[in-house]
């Protein structure tokens, strides 16, 4: 049984009351984890609100591919350095994009630390971040031609033998 402290519950409640139609699901997972699922249309507003609440940096951005559900989930890991009472919290923002057209607004105007994480997610999952200042491939710059390698249906012959 997870005991929710009032601090986490306040964040969740204010978010829900502020964006009643955009927040799909909120879950307090464990002592230091909060998961928020939202609709991608109002992402920038939610991000701005969270930044003003004190969540000032992005720890990581990634995607998870679900070929059976035909979605790509994009996950934002957000934390706080400037507010001491929030610093142990790891906020997970989750949204799902259609697999054939994964486009979401870039978080770089809100969180500058998202820069390289978004470039990596673009390269590995093909998620386009609209408004990113410099959306290029990062890790496999000059040898990789082909689909994004981290998608589940991209099979490499030598890997699928095992």
Which of 39, 48, 77, 128 is in the footprint of another protein by CB under 8 A?
Answer: 77
Distance between CA atoms of 40 and 46, rounded to whole angstroms? 10
Number of H helices, E strands in the chain: 4, 7
Which of 10, 87, 98, 131 is in the footprint of another protein by CB under 8 A?
Answer: 87
Q: Read off φ and ψ for residue 97, nearest 5 degrees.
A: -115, 150
- Structural element, H or E, at residue 148: none
Q: Rounded to the nearest whole angstrom, what is the least distance from the CB of residue 157 to another protein in the complex? A: 9
Distance between CA atoms of 30 and 66, rounded to whole angstroms? 25
Q: Does 140 bind another protein (CB under 8 A)?
A: yes
User: Mask 22-61, x = binds another protein (CB under 8 A)?
Assistant: --------xxxx----------------------xxxxx-
Distance between CA atoms of 53 and 146, rounded to whole angstroms? 41
Can you give the binding site for another protein, defined by CB under 8 A?
A: 30-33, 56-60, 62, 64, 75, 77, 81-82, 87-88, 90, 92, 108, 111-113, 115-117, 120, 124, 133-134, 138-144, 149-150, 156, 158-159, 161-162
């Amino acid at each position: 049984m997870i005991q929710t402290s009032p601090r986490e519950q306040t964040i969740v409640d204010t978010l829900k009351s502020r964006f009643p139609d955009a927040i799909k699901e909120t879950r307090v997972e464990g002592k230091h984890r909060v998961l928020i699922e939202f609709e991608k249309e109002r992402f920038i507003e939610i991000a701005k609100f969270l930044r003003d609440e004190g969540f000032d940096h992005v720890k990581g951005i990634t995607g998870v591919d679900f070929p059976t559900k035909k979605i790509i989930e994009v996950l934002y890991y957000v934390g706080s350095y400037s507010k001491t009472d929030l610093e142990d919290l790891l906020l997970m923002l989750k949204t799902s994009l259609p697999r054939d057209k994964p486009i979401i607004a870039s978080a770089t105007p809100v969180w500058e630390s998202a820069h390289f994480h978004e470039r990596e997610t673009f390269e590995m999952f093909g998620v386009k971040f609209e408004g990113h200042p410099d959306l290029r491939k990062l890790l496999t710059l000059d040898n990789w031609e082909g689909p994004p390698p981290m998608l589940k249906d991209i099979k490499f012959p030598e890997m699928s033998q095992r």
